Structure 1
Amino acid sequence: MDPASLTKLLSPEGWALLNALPPYDEAQAMVLATRLRAEGVDPDLAAAVLTQSRLRAKARTKLGSFADGMLFTSDGVEQATRLVVAGLHARRYLAAGVTKVADLTSGVGADALAFAGVGLDVLATDIDEMTAAMATVNLRAFPEAEVRHTDGLDVDLVAEGVDGVYADPARRTRGGKRIFDPSAYAPPLDAVWALRDQVPALGIKVGPGIPHHGLPDDAEVQWVSVDGDVVEAGLWFGPLAPDGPGRSAHVLRTTAQGTASRTLRARETDGTGGAELVPEVGAVGGYLYEPDGAVVRAGLVAHAAAELGGRLVDRTIAYVTTDAPAAAPSSGVAPIATGFRVLDVLPFNLKKLKAYLRERGVGRLTVKKRGTAVTPEQLRSQLALKGDAAATLVLTRIAGRQHVLVVEPLGDRG
């Protein structure tokens, strides 16, 4: 969107038109565009409101109804923090006694909204002029939040009275290609890390695929998942890491009562002095557990096994097995693993597996895998099954050899 189109969008006519549009429907977008043109709506304004309607609909999965009053860029929707996770960030700063947060890469302002929403003063900056303008609109309800079009690294944090810093460096090129080298982030990760010498309460959102090697020793690195999707890793320094440096996983699950959560850390009593715990490995028992992706990313599978009272099926595979079902988590506590009852364990043999499933009338398969090159699509094609029954298969290694586990879901456990 260019500045002229944004000006038209923010006019009383443009804003009213945007907010009067029906819920976005891709199938009806062309019909709606034609209708707006027939009604004499300025073509640039029509294009702007339709684009914003589409982006709001996309952002709603992250920001809920808040998206309906916001403006977005395509990149802004992609990088925006989910509202439930932004709330976690804001509560960290609040609990640390921070009063003014500098959001150095605010984007369209999702995290800044959460900071302001818990009563923190906010200085939000973005290097892109249009993005900063949209963030200003999105933060209009919070007079204590200021947005500036500037490079956040140029801000004199001490002079501004900032006692907490947050950054979410861009991890994609302008063409949308993912950047894996932290030194190529915008701004570079090292440059943001260095700010903790000025403001100890520093938080940085990074991609969940960031390697463990090279992470700063003085940070708590927390991987966060929402309903099974690992959405970020956060680097938290100083008072934002009250439990000290190390790795942790925070699991969030949507329930009928709201949001359940659970944090798993290396246990201080495990005798290792850190996040490394040597797991027990043994035979497949009556139950199989798949640790949440945040637990796996954090390298805490062995800790999950200890919590579940189980062992690994293979030292290199993130599956936990137990002889009895693990206790279900209490209300409001998210499970750290998904549980299955083990019905059968078979060495991997395509011909025998096909015969096994056909004998049982299986025509519908759910296939899960770890530690095997076989893809679910390839396996379904090779089996060519017909029948009314359904089955769940787990393809994995057991003691270094390929196996198939026939399982049925228990529901959330752990």
Structure 2
Amino acid sequence: MDLHTAQLLTSPEGERALTLATGLPDPDSLGAGERMRREFAPELAAAALSQMGLRRRARAKLGPRADLLLWTSDGVEQATRASVSAWRARRLVSAGITTVLDIGCGAGADALAFLDAGLSVTGVEIDPATALLARHNLSTADAGADDPPGPAAAGGPRRPGPRAVVIAGDGVELAPGLIRGATGRVCVYLDPARRTARGRSWRVEDLSPGWPFVEAQLQADHATCVKLGPGFPRELLPDDVAAIWVSDHGDLVECGLWHLPGDGAPDAPDPDAPGGTGRIAVPASRSAVLLPSGVQAWADPGAPDFEVRAPGRYLYEPDPAVSRAGASRALAIQPPVTGSSGTRQPGGAPAHVWRLAPGVGYLSSDEPIVTPLATTFEVLEVIDHHMPALRAWVKAHRIGTLEIKKRAVEIDPAALRKKLRPKGPNVATLLLTPTTNGLSALVVQRLRDTPRNTLS
């Protein structure tokens, strides 16, 4: 989007065009275009109708709030899910942060979450058009520069309300001065763009701001939080910062790097947390956070890997964030329990859990464990994995709805399902994985009841 189009959309005439476009039953139709051009110049009509499609895409991440905002295509693609942005903002508040310097703020989706949490935000965006959209979007927040002061602390003066400023400029050049001039405890937030003229890129050298700048912020005296793609190369992660992989409703969405120096960094352990600690960002740690529950599981780099055995009665598919963080061992930890008298008692001995094959993510046990860190299945049957045997099993059991899951196997589940020709009233889940006996096909069902051994 060019600056002129952004100026049109943020003008009073643009607001009127957006209102009309919002009320059209089919903004993508030829009739909608004709209707808009009767009222507005062709350029504004097209821009307003384009926003309808962008808002529809953004709704999947931000919900109804997306309809109040202005977007670019890149801005929608890079926007963080609202639940993840809110989680991050809450963590910064609990760390004592009062001001966020959002370098490369894009359309301002994360900045809105910071404002919602009561944090002041200075956003910097190198593209003037996107900066103008971000300024408009932050003006829709309940908190802003013109809001009244916040409530007074008990017995103290009234606290100034959070403020939002968006600057069009190069964040790398402006960052030193903005950090020096910030009031309160500041955190630099970075969500490096991962797009080039060729489209979306996963190459580290294509990040903007560049990786050397990101590394420098993570070594600075101020707090820094960096949002990266979940597949960012582990070998490039700095050893002395916390890396947290985040999943939302089972989808792996990001890897965050956290540097929270000073007395404000919360580090009180929570024995209830899987892995033995509830710290937000322990330096040099690797952990997983599962939303919406907020459960955090920690990797133990000194622990030996699981033993390898044949499948037991139960099978566990760790949440992808848990797997990526290397925190699968936390599944076996039994938390403290509260007795009938209300007294806290130590957790039980670690559950006996093992892998099905070296390097395979699936875990197994003979006793059930309900854990927020994994999906639990009961193994019903182990069958021959060859095509004729699988097809015969599906036919004999009249399977019409067949879910196929796999790990470390070069199989296309959709293509395999088509070849098996499922037909009938019954439902089944088939899991293909290497085991100690080679490739195996396991018939499993998800556990929906709560066994006695519960990890929470």
TM-score computed with the length of structure 1 as normaliser: 0.89
SS of the aligned residue for 1:371 comes to: coil
Q: What is the one-letter code of the residue matched to 1:286?
A: R
Inter-CA distance 103–356: structure 2 relative to 1 (3 Å threshold): same
- Tell me whether 26-35 or 292-301 shows the greater mean CA deviation: 26-35
- Tell me whether 28-37 or 339-348 shows the greater mean CA deviation: 28-37
Inter-CA distance 2–28: structure 2 relative to 1 (3 Å threshold): closer
Q: Which runs of 5+ in 2 are unaligned?
A: 146-162, 266-279, 335-350
Q: Distance in 1 between matches of 2:215 and 2:137?
A: 28
Q: What is the one-letter code of the residue matched to 2:206?
A: A
Check whether the contact 1:279–1:305 (CA below 8 A) recurs between aligned residues.
Answer: no
Q: Distance in 1 between matches of 2:85 and 2:116?
A: 10
SS of the aligned residue for 1:205 comes to: strand
Q: Distance in 2 between matches of 1:26 and 1:231?
A: 31
Check whether the contact 1:309–1:326 (CA below 8 A) recurs between aligned residues.
Answer: no
Q: What is the one-letter code of the residue matched to 1:243?
A: V
Q: What is the one-letter code of the residue matched to 1:354?
A: R
Q: What is the one-letter code of the residue matched to 1:323?
A: D
Which residue pairs with 2:330 in the alignment? 303
Q: Distance in 1 between matches of 2:172 and 2:64?
A: 32
Task: Give deviations 1:43-90, integer Å, cap 9, x for gaps.
Answer: 111111111111111111111222121111000000011111111221
Matches within 5 A, 1:132-143: 132-140=131-139, 141=141, 142-143=144-145
Q: Distance in 1 between matches of 2:28 and 2:178?
A: 48
Which residue pairs with 1:262 in the alignment? 295
Q: Distance in 1 between matches of 2:376 and 2:215?
A: 39
Matched, 1:217 2:263: no
Check whether the contact 2:17–2:44 (CA below 8 A) recurs between aligned residues.
Answer: no
Task: Give deviations 1:93-143, integer Å, cap 9, x for gaps.
Answer: 212222221111101111111112222221110111111111110111411
Matches within 5 A, 1:375-390: 375-390=412-427
SS of the aligned residue for 1:216 comes to: coil
Matches within 5 A, 1:247-396: 247-252=286-291, 259-266=292-299, 274=301, 276-306=303-333, 309-327=352-370, 335-396=372-433
Q: Distance in 2 between matches of 1:97 and 1:53?
A: 38
Taking only aligned residues, the RMSD between alpha carbons, in angstroms, comes to 2.2
* Per-residue deviation, 1:275: 6.2
Q: Distance in 2 between matches of 1:103 and 1:60?
A: 22
* Per-residue deviation, 1:200: 3.0
Matched, 1:173 2:173: no
Q: Distance in 2 between matches of 1:364 and 1:193?
A: 49
Which residue pairs with 2:182 in the alignment? 161
* Per-residue deviation, 1:386: 2.9
Which residue pairs with 1:403 in the alignment? 440
Q: What is the one-letter code of the residue matched to 1:93?
A: L
Check whether the contact 2:299–2:326 (CA below 8 A) recurs between aligned residues.
Answer: no
Matched, 1:146 2:165: yes
Task: Give deviations 1:169-196, integer Å, cap 9, x for gaps.
Answer: 011223323223x233111122112024
Q: What is the one-letter code of the residue matched to 1:46?
A: A
* Per-residue deviation, 1:197: 4.2
Inter-CA distance 187–325: structure 2 relative to 1 (3 Å threshold): same
Q: Which runs of 5+ in 1 are unaligned?
A: 253-258, 268-273, 330-334
Matches within 5 A, 1:63-78: 63-78=62-77
Q: Distance in 2 between matches of 1:7 and 1:282?
A: 64
Percent same amino acid among aligned pairs?
A: 40
* Per-residue deviation, 1:225: 0.6
* Per-residue deviation, 1:151: 1.1
Check whether the contact 2:243–2:255 (CA below 8 A) recurs between aligned residues.
Answer: yes
Q: Distance in 2 between matches of 1:65 and 1:195?
A: 34
Check whether the contact 2:26–2:32 (CA below 8 A) recurs between aligned residues.
Answer: no
Question: Aligned residues, how many?
Answer: 394
Q: Distance in 2 between matches of 1:90 and 1:289?
A: 31
Q: Distance in 2 between matches of 1:336 and 1:405?
A: 21
* Per-residue deviation, 1:203: 0.8
Inter-CA distance 175–400: structure 2 relative to 1 (3 Å threshold): farther
* Per-residue deviation, 1:231: 0.6
SS of the aligned residue for 2:195 comes to: coil
